[in-house]
A and B are shown apart, each in its own frame.
Chain A
Amino acid sequence: MSRTRDGNEHDGLPDPALPPPTVWEERGISRRDFMKFCTAMSAALALPPAFAPKIAHALDQVKRPTLVWLEFQDCAGNTEALLRSSHPTVAELVLDVLSIDYHETIMAAAGHQAEEALAKVTKEQKGKYLVIVEGSIPMKDNGVYCCVGGRTAVDIAREVCGNAFATIAVGSCAAYGGIPAAAPNPTGAVGVKEAVPEATVINLPGCPLNPDNLTALVVHYLTFNKLPAVDSHGRPLFAYGKRIHDACERRPHFDAGQYVEEWGDHGHKKGYCLYKMGCKGPATWHNCPTQRYNMKTSWPVGAGHGCVGCSEPLFWDSMTPFYRRLPNVPGFGIESTADKIGAGLAVATAAAFAGHGVISGMRHDKGKPEDHEEA
């Protein structure tokens, strides 16, 4: 049993008594396109193709759940990423899938009236709406380093995230504090879970996040009526369950001991491993190699630059200098070595986070997300 959008207890499946699927056709989307989208979604969610009809059924019944998008210490990179989402596209998200009632960068309303729209959601849909947070939350000096409408970010987050069904922290800033939290963290920036421990938070880190992982999460929620399983950093396993290094197209070159030694050299031209150029793929859990970016066009290591580890907590400090190869590598071309490096680094970042009390907070959080697995 789990709580659904309407706030009642259900077994997780949509109610079969609801009217037959017509919603999408009414909105001018052909059945064929719709099923294509559902198939893409089941792939993104790492589900067998048989799940496509189930996703289709769930989406047909959707009454556009309310979503509000908050921006704090952010660069709007995740908002821009959302504009690049391909299935569904941002237009479909806005017009057909969700009711995005507040989003500073795209909304037509401004000022007091914009804030009123937000207040209306928190008041009238308490416990039922979704929140997306982009950007970190400064805690130092009573939170004066980020104000919207004269209120501090932490004040807004406590109210809006605290009353939501769930909060999705998009990008590494909202998830773990990100770049504002990099040493010496001048503003005392933290992620949402640390700022509002009582909120149900799921993290979609990345700098910015891959929008296809966000749409996949939304579809997962709409399909199963609950949040997906996450790892110890609050990241859904369907997108952060594998190390970059293990799915990397340059991996055979690592195993063969073929490395890029200098930018633009023979190895660089032929797609050799970027490990010696500082690639952090062996210590980073993210689906970049398979999901890729911008309609699956490319991804950093594929294009020729090392991974910077942007989906890992505190990566601005733990993964820098970016061009220094990961430490303590006794020999190249030995698969098990890189595995150990990755595991070691993960333990280090996990320890740093335990210090903030984040992991324990997530684990004892009202049974949601439903279960946890160690990465």
Chain B
Amino acid sequence: MAKIAIDPITRIEGHLRIEAEISGGRVADAWSSSTMFRGIERILQGRDPRDAWVFTQRFCGVCTTVHAIASIRCVENALNITIPQNAEIIRNIIIGIQNVQDHVIHFYHLHALDWVDITSALKADPAKTASLSASISEWPLNSPTYFKGVQGKLKAFVETGRLGPFANAYWGHPAYRLPPEANLMAVAHYLEALEWQKEIIRIHAILGSKNPHPQTFIVGGMAIALDPDSQSALNMDKIAEIRSLLKKTRDFVEKVYIPDLLAVAAFYKDWAAIGGGVGNYLAYGDFPMDNSGKPEKLWMPRGIILNRDLSKVHPVDDKKIAEYVDHSWYEYSAGAGKGVHPWDGETNHKYTGPRPPYEFLDTNGKYSWVKAPRYADQPMEVGPLSRLLVAYGAGHKEVKQAVDGVLAKLGVGPEALFSTLGRTAARGIETLLLAAELPKWLDQLTANIVGGDLHIHNSERWDPKDWPKEASGFGLHEAPRGALGHWIRIRDQKILNYQAIVPSTWNASPRDAAGTRGPYEAALIDTPIADQNKPLEILRTIHSFDPCLACAVHLVDPAGNDLVRVRVL
């Protein structure tokens, strides 16, 4: 038995810390904690609700559109504003390409190094790498010369003796299983993906002015005019550019990302039985196919899967959501042990220690800046896996086809989805589906413009003097990392209260009043650890959720004494 600390966990967004207990080469218990607080919800009080999206967008610079979308949706819901069809389509394209780009960056730049040993790529035979590449994909960059060049670049870099961000990692860990050739191929695609993501996200620049933090969202529609006869508006030239970028998007996803994902997964099939977690999956659904606001019109459906039972999809009632703070550094005016619906949510921070610098948190007491959201008092996992499981359970045709196809290729059944590997695979499958769907949405927009519909904003309630004295609303969205909700109360044209429950609040949640673990905490239980000084396996499961906050992992001795901090590579 031993205790070790990983702080910070890197290759995620934000500041997350996990403490865990290891016994007999397996994780016996774990605690998830976020160590950063900004209080943006408090900053929003008293401001113009139309400004809220600019503020909330800054919750996250990685999923840089999602809090803008949820925010304008919640204000529109509160003020009963129906947005024009064109604005809905443009938002869908922005959301879709955000998901695709984010998932690919996650796979290659945040998650891959948990499975890929870069240093092993130096031993690869470029000719064999070329054959491997050609055997799984028709991607044209697959010659021995190309891979020799990549290897040469890597070699020159390593020989400088200054590995920069690749220094001090877990290279050579026994849990790395890819042959050198697969590692070299992955390194080449790590670099290609860097170039690709920068290029395809120009779609956000065309429709949203820039990325990160696009700036054409507005309550009531979008602030980008449509006019085929203007050089200052979205015209056919710009639409053609988007179309060509969408083609590039789909090409890379189909010919590089998915083949790589399948190739890597084939070496790590045991991870289809590790990292399951709470077994409840929540999806709000997204991509409205019209502007009616009805859940049944969402392309990705809304629903809940309970206890891994895919035979029944439960409906979502946002009234059943409550947040607990019994283990979070906040206090409620109602007192301890109570769950509070976000409309009545409070962000009264109260840090109870430990005093920094510290080695370990007080996990019996309050230990995180993340609250503990629960649906009908149950913890819920959110994310691409939840979306796919809900859609699969609901009989979504494209989803069912894609999921069954991947399962067949890997030779595993649907139960393999409830795992670390399942999360990583689901992200890929969703990317594949979206990359195929996006051009169709652009076609719809084009058809509308051709038909003379240039409507982009509903200005009926733009002026606050046309608002009711009081209003409240919520905005739901599927961010790349999962179900996202914003709740707003408006009084006298100003924000009275604003609360957001973000995907990583669900997933990184600490224990609730009843002591029930959150999804990260539950997923780490029983994870095998080959070398407790290098807990690579913990990173795999945590990264499979694509955390959106900065963390750290501690492994705690069950006996509760001799808290020795062990160095972790």
Distance to closest chain B CB from A132 (angstroms)? 13
Assembly CA distance A299 to B210 (angstroms): 6
A17 CB to closest chain B CB, in angstroms?
A: 22
Residues of A contacting B461 in the complex (Cβ-Cβ under 8 angstroms) = none
Taking a contact as CB atoms under 8 Å apart, the answer to whether A76 and B13 are in contact is yes
B233 touches A28 (CB 8 A): no
Cβ 8 A contact of B50, one of A71, A106, A321: A321
Minimal beta-carbon separation of A320 from chain B (angstroms):
6
Bound CA span A138–B357, Å = 15
- Chain A residue nearest to B154 (CB atoms) is A95
B60: A residues at CB distance < 8 A: 75-77
Known: A89-B195, A100-B165. A144 touches B205 (CB 8 A): no
Q: How far is it, in angstroms, between the C-alpha of A83 and the C-alpha of B168 when the chains are bound?
A: 22
Contact B168 A148 (CB under 8 A): no
**Contact status A83-B105, CB under 8 Å:** yes
Q: Which of B59, B162, B165, B455 contacts A107 (CB 8 A)?
A: B165
B161 CB → nearest A CB, Å: 10
Inter-chain CA distance A150–B15, complex, in Å, is: 11
Is there a chain B Cβ closer than 8 Å to A110's Cβ?
yes
Find out whether the CB atom of A113 lies under 8 angstroms from the CB atom of B569: yes
Name the segment of A216-224, A300-308, A339-347 touching the other chain. Answer: A300-308
CB of A148 within 8 A of CB of B5, answer no
Q: Is the CB of B165 within 8 A of A108?
A: yes
Q: How far is the CA of A146 from the CA of B38 in the complex (A)?
A: 9
Asked if B168 contacts A114 (CB within 8 A), the reply is yes
Q: Enumerate chain A residues within 8 angstroms of B162, measured Cβ to Cβ.
A: 64, 66, 99, 101
Q: What is the bound-complex CA distance between A179 and B197, given in angstroms?
A: 27
Q: Which of B40, B355, B454, B539 has the most CB of A within 10 A?
A: B40
Inter-subunit contact B215/A84 (CB<8 Å): no
Residues of A within 8 A of B51 (CB): 320-323
Residues of B within 8 A of A264 (CB): 221, 225-226, 454-457, 459
Tell me which of A107, A271, A320 contacts B231 (CB under 8 A): A271
Residue from A66, A86, A269 having most chain B Cβ neighbours under 10 A: A269
Residue A73 at the B interface, CB < 8 A? yes
In the complex, which of the residues B50, B194, B210 contacts A91, with contact meaning CB atoms closer than 8 Å? B194
Q: Is the CB of A179 within 8 A of B230?
A: no
Query: CB within 8 A of B10: which of A91, A105, A293, A294?
Result: A105
Q: Which of A49-57, A183-191, A348-356 contacts B (4 or more CB under 8 A)?
A: A183-191
With a cutoff of 8 Å between Cβ atoms, the chain A residues found around residue B414 in the complex are none
Cα distance A313–B5 when bound, in Å? Answer: 38
Min Cβ gap B403→A in Å is 30
Of residues 167 through 186 on chain B, the ones whose CB sits less than 8 Å from some CB of chain A are 167-170
B111 to chain A, nearest CB (A): 12
Residue in A111, A303, A308 with the greatest tally of chain B CB atoms within 10 Å: A111
Complex contacts, B231 vs chain A, CB 8 Å: 271
Given A105-B11, A263-B221: A117 touches B230 (CB 8 Å cut-off): no
Cβ-defined partner of B225 (8 Å) among A86, A189, A269, A324: A269
Given contacts A104-B8, A264-B454, A304-B216, whether A182 and B43 have CB atoms under 8 Å apart is yes
Question: What residue of chain A has the Cβ atom nearest to residue B87's Cβ?
Answer: A264
In the bound assembly, the distance between CA atoms of A299 and B213 in angstroms comes to 11
Task: Indicate if the CB atoms of A302 and B355 lie closer than 8 Å.
Answer: no
Chain B 4-45, CB-CB to A under 8 Å as 1, else 0, gives 011111111111000000000000000000011111101100
Contacts of A316 in B (CB 8 A): 43, 55
Any chain B CB within 8 A of the CB of A109? yes
Q: Which of B36, B58, B208 contacts A303 (CB 8 A)?
A: B208
Are A269 and B233 in touch, CB under 8 angstroms?
yes
Q: How many Å from the CB of B512 to the closest CB on chain A?
A: 23
A222 to B215, CA, bound (A): 33
Asked whether A107 lies within 8 Å of B11 as measured between CB atoms, the reply is yes
CA distance A172 to B11 in the complex (A): 23
CB distance from A350 to the nearest CB of B (A): 23
Looking at the complex, which one of A100, A151, A182, A269 makes contact with B232 (CB distance below 8 Å)?
A: A269
The answer to whether A320 and B47 touch across the interface, beta carbons within 8 angstroms, is yes
A184 surroundings in chain B (CB, below 8 A)? 42-43
Which parts of A104-156 form the interface with B (CB within 8 Å)? 104-117, 138, 141-152, 155
Convert A148-185 into 0s and 1s, putting 1 for each residue whose CB lies closer than 8 angstroms to a CB of B. 11111001000000000000000000000011101111
Q: Does B372 contact A (CB under 8 A)?
A: no
With A79-B61, A108-B118, A269-B232 already in contact, the answer to whether A298 and B357 are too (CB < 8 A) is no
Taking a contact as CB atoms under 8 Å apart, the answer to whether A115 and B198 are in contact is no
Contact A83 B194 (CB under 8 A): yes
Q: Determine whether the beta carbon of A146 is less than 8 Å from that of B15.
A: yes
Give the interface centre of A104, A110, A208, A263 by most chain B CB atoms within 10 Å: A110
Tell yes or no: B389 within 8 A of A by CB.
no
- Give the shortest distance, in Å, between A268 (CB) and chain B (any CB): 4
B165 touches A111 (CB 8 A): no
Give, as a whole number of angstroms, the nearest-CB distance from B370 to chain A.
14
Count chain B CB atoms within 10 A of each CB in A84, A95, A263 and give the residue with the most: A263
Residues of B within 8 A of A302 (CB): 209, 232
Contact A155 B39 (CB under 8 A): no
Residue of chain B at shortest CB distance from A268 = B225
Closest B residue to A85 by beta carbon equals B198
A6 contacts B by Cβ under 8 Å = no
Q: Which of B134-151 contact A (CB under 8 A)?
A: 149
Residues of A within 8 A of B11 (CB): 104-108, 110
Report A-chain residues with C-beta under 8 Å of the C-beta of B48. Answer: 320-324
Chain B residue at minimum C-beta to C-beta distance from A86: B198
CB distance from A37 to the nearest CB of B (A): 15
Pairs A–B under 8 Å by Cβ, sample size 24: A75-B60, A79-B61, A83-B197, A85-B198, A99-B164, A100-B164, A102-B165, A105-B11, A106-B10, A109-B569, A110-B568, A114-B168, A138-B37, A186-B38, A187-B39, A263-B221, A263-B223, A268-B225, A293-B211, A303-B207, A304-B216, A305-B217, A305-B224, A323-B48
Could you list 8 further interchain pairs (A-B, Cβ under 8 angstroms) beyond the known A146-B36, A305-B216? A78-B61, A91-B194, A95-B164, A104-B8, A107-B10, A155-B356, A264-B459, A302-B232
Q: Sorted from nearest, which 5 A-B pairs have the closest CB atoms?
A: A77-B61, A271-B232, A111-B6, A186-B39, A303-B209
Give A contacts to B, CB under 8 Å.
26-28, 64, 66, 71-81, 83-86, 89-91, 94-95, 98-117, 138, 141-152, 155, 178-180, 182-187, 189, 207-208, 250, 262-264, 268-271, 293-295, 297-305, 308, 316, 320-324
